[in-house]
């Protein structure tokens, strides 16, 4: 009950802010509530390119377009419904690839959930079902999956922000982005889990170790989601380590 009340309060606050900002208000009229909870960590970062992996209806891209008005936005969303909404909201402001992102290229199954922003390439566990209402699987779709290095090899430039929120597949996205991490990405903003919310997913420690191997330091942790046993997941901001 407490978790649901917190979520309701957060949504009410986000809606109030969205109504007060013209860019967010325009998106809200089209059915997308900007992900303003990420503003404190991201505001002021030097960003020329945003890679929005797990774009859903454009919640993060709308925020990024407002915070980084000159940045190129490239987004990735495998589900047709949210992808259609994304295009209606962002239009020509962003480039959207309608596919999944992972460690290898080919085809895979995406499990669509009742609340489609909980959809994943992995099945939800009981912990996820308890944590987030709407995590029940309602459909399965075969979709294309590709490595990020293959998709944006020539498109990402300058100071790149890589955002990843793919419900349990974040580690695999990073495995498929090793060239970008080595050369172009300056910040990584990733939702990571402290407990197994999706079957077989890699947890926070794995994500931190992998990014550390690529020269990134953990800079901040925000927006924790609490489950029955404590913090279940949070947003982590990484920056390239000073050399």
Q: Measured at the alpha carbon of residue 71, what is the angle toward residues 66 and 72, in degrees to the nearest 5?
A: 115
pLDDT tens digit string along 136-162? 999 999 999 999 999 997 655 679 999
Helix (H) or strand (E) segment spanning residue 242: none
211 has a pLDDT exceeding 90: yes
- For residues 123 and 119, give the distance between their C-alpha atoms in angstroms, rounded to a whole number: 9
pLDDT tens digit string along 75-92? 999 999 999 999 999 999
Can you give the pTM of this predicted structure?
A: 0.94
32 has a pLDDT exceeding 80: yes
Let me know if residue 236 belongs to a domain. Answer: yes
- For residues 188 and 161, give the distance between their C-alpha atoms in angstroms, rounded to a whole number: 6
243 has a pLDDT exceeding 70: no
Q: Which residue from 173, 166, 176 is spatially nearest to 233, judged by alpha carbons? A: 166
Let me know if residue 52 belongs to a domain. Answer: yes
Q: What is the mean pLDDT of the chain?
A: 93
pLDDT at position 210 is 98
Q: What separation in angstroms does the CA of 176 have from each of 35, 65, 98, 103, 109?
A: 25, 25, 17, 4, 18
Domains of the chain: total: 1
Let me know if residue 104 belongs to a domain. Answer: no
112 has a pLDDT exceeding 90: yes
Q: For position 180, which CATH number holds?
A: 3.40.50.150
Let me know if residue 146 belongs to a domain. Answer: no
Let me know if residue 120 belongs to a domain. Answer: no
């Amino acid at each position: 009950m407490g978790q649901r009340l917190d979520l309701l309060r957060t949504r009410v606050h986000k809606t109030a802010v969205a109504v007060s900002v013209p860019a967010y208000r325009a998106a809200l009229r089209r059915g997308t509530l900007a992900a303003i909870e990420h503003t404190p960590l991201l505001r002021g970062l030097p960003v020329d390119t945003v890679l929005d992996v797990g774009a859903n209806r454009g919640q993060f891209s709308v925020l990024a377009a407002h915070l980084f008005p000159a940045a190129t936005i490239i987004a990735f969303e495998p589900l047709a419904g949210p992808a259609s909404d994304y295009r209606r909201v962002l239009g020509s402001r962003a480039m959207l690839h309608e596919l999944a992102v992972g460690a290898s290229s080919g085809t895979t199954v995406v499990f669509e959930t009742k609340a489609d922003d909980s959809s994943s390439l992995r099945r939800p566990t009981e912990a996820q079902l308890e944590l987030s209402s709407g995590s029940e699987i309602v459909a399965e779709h075969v979709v294309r999956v590709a490595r990020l290095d293959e998709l944006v090899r020539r498109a990402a430039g300058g100071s790149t922000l890589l955002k990843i929120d793919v419900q349990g597949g974040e580690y695999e996205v990073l495995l498929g982005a090793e060239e970008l991490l080595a050369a172009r990405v300056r910040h990584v903003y990733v939702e990571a889990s402290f407990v197994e919310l999706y079957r077989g997913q890699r947890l926070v420690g794995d994500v931190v170790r992998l990014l550390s191997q690529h020269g990134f330091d953990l800079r901040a942790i925000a927006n924790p989601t609490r489950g029955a046993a404590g913090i279940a997941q949070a947003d982590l901001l990484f920056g390239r380590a000073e050399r």
